[in-house]
């Protein structure tokens, strides 16, 4: 089976790219961040190269710590048992359509949490609220205990340096090269703070991490779906975030590319110690990449836990979803209203 053998070879190459020899990225331009923002948030966490960083221990080990925001020049050690991100009583509607009637969810530093739920329940809306692309109607969303819902534009800009997002459908700009796409966030966030050589070096580093070194000059139109996702991923990691949001990273991909992306997600998390929030419809991907899952249903989280805990839940709204069964009481009216 040549395809499978080729797929395995690429996977090995991708895994190797995640683990080794991606070079050391240029340090973040800490000193040039606006002093008021730096005072509020501290400097961005420095990002270590995949090549030099030891594999992180399992996230559930209680002694594991995470480098959180600094205060007064000292880096606080935020325990992995504390919430890094906290949605509290969040309400959100579009006109009459209520998306969230009371969203409560905590994400710990270093964990990989997957949001599951039917189409249109508000999974993408949740991620967009987290980075301030959509405003909440009420409630709070904190990142390092700072309320994102109360922030002004420049403060949100800093949050978006620290929380990268791989948008649903990759959202690459077709009219510019792959390299320019990956550099996009660097220009946006580090304008005048990184020179062209530093940006080129960072772009090369990010593309190497996703197993696609040297494709800077290609156009998105020349790439396969799987490669586009990986370039989207390179764009998200180029800014060296603490958290990455993956909105349906494997939707529309064939099984080999799905496996490849899942390996990259778990490899990046282990190598770079990144907290990830994922959205996926694909339960086998969800079980593979997640420490915990949370299910959204009618405006709330109705279940959350480890893969094994979720599998043990008997509530039919959860069990039907995770086992891919249509609910027994689903009728035409329900389907039309969905
Ligand atoms: N900017 C917007 N304006 C109006 N309605 C929106 C907007 N974004 C999302 N919605 C609606 O909110 C609901 C949830 O959307 P979304 O979060 O994208 O669903 P999913 O769970 O599939 O990711 C959908 O009904 C969608 O049409
Ligand atoms: Mg969505």
Ligand 1: residue of 96, 125, 294 to mutate (most ligand atoms within 8 A of CB) is 125
Going from the Cα of 240 to the center of ligand 1, the distance in angstroms, rounded, reads 28
Closest atom of ligand 1 to 247 CA is 23
The confidence score (pLDDT) of residue 328 equals: 57
The confidence score (pLDDT) of residue 39 equals: 46
**Position of tokens 């996009």?**
184
Going from the Cα of 59 to the center of ligand 1, the distance in angstroms, rounded, reads 32
- Could you give the C-alpha distances from 174 to 51, 81, 214, in angstroms and in order? 31, 41, 18
CB within 8 Å of 331: residues ≥ 6 apart = none
Distance CA 292, CA 310 (A): 9
**Position of tokens 């062209």?**
196
> Which residue's CA is the closest to the ligand 1 atom numbered 26?
120
- Return the ligand number nearest the Cα of 298: 1
Domain range annotation of the chain: 2-336
CB within 8 Å of 241: residues ≥ 6 apart = 161, 162, 163, 164, 274
The confidence score (pLDDT) of residue 188 equals: 81
The confidence score (pLDDT) of residue 193 equals: 81
**Position of tokens 């836990």?**
305
> Which residue ranges in the chain fall short of pLDDT 50?
1-78
- Ligand 1 residue neighbourhood (C-beta within 6 Å): 94, 99, 117, 119-125
Topology annotation, domain 2-336: Rossmann fold (3.40.50)
pTM of the model: 0.75
The confidence score (pLDDT) of residue 51 equals: 31
> Which residue's CA is the closest to the ligand 1 atom numbered 3?
94
Cα end-to-end distance, the chain, whole Å? 41
Q: pLDDT per residue over 25-71, tens digit each?
A: 333 333 333 343 344 444 433 333 333 222 222 222 222 232 333 33
The confidence score (pLDDT) of residue 185 equals: 86
């Amino acid at each position: 089976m040549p395809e499978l053998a080729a797929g395995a070879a690429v996977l090995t190459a991708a895994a190797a790219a995640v683990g080794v020899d991606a070079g050391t990225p240029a340090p973040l331009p800490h000193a040039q961040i606006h002093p008021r923002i730096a005072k509020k948030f501290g400097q961005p966490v420095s990002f270590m190269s995949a090549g030099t960083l030891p594999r992180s221990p399992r996230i559930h080990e209680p002694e594991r710590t995470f480098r959180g925001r600094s205060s007064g020049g000292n880096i606080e050690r935020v325990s992995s048992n504390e919430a890094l991100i906290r949605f509290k009583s969040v309400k959100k509607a579009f006109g009459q359509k209520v998306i969230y009637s009371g969203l409560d969810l905590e994400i710990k530093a270093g964990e990989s949490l997957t949001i599951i739920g039917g189409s249109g329940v508000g999974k993408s809306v949740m991620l967009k609220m987290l980075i301030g692309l959509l405003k909440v109607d009420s409630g709070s969303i904190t990142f390092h205990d700072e309320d994102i819902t109360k922030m002004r534009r420049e403060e949100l800009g800093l949050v978006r340096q620290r929380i990268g997002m791989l948008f649903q459908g990759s959202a690459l700009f077709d009219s510019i090269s792959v390299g320019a796409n990956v550099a996009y966030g660097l220009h946006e966030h580090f304008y005048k703070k990184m020179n062209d050589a530093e940006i080129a070096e960072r772009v090369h580093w990010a593309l190497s991490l996703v197993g696609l070194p040297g494709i800077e000059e290609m156009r998105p139109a020349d790439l396969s779906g799987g490669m586009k996702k990986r370039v989207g991923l390179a764009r998200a990691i180029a800014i060296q975030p603490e958290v990455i949001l993956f909105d349906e990273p494997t939707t529309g991909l064939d099984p080999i590319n799905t496996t490849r992306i899942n390996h990259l997600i778990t490899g990046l998390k282990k190598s770079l110690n990144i907290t990830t929030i994922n959205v996926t419809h694909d339960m086998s991907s969800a079980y593979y990449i997640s420490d915990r899952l949370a299910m959204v249903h009618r405006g709330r989280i109705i279940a959350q836990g480890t893969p094994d805990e979720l599998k043990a839940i008997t509530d039919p709204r959860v069990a039907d979803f995770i086992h891919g069964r249509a609910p027994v009481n689903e009728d035409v009216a329900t389907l039309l209203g969905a």
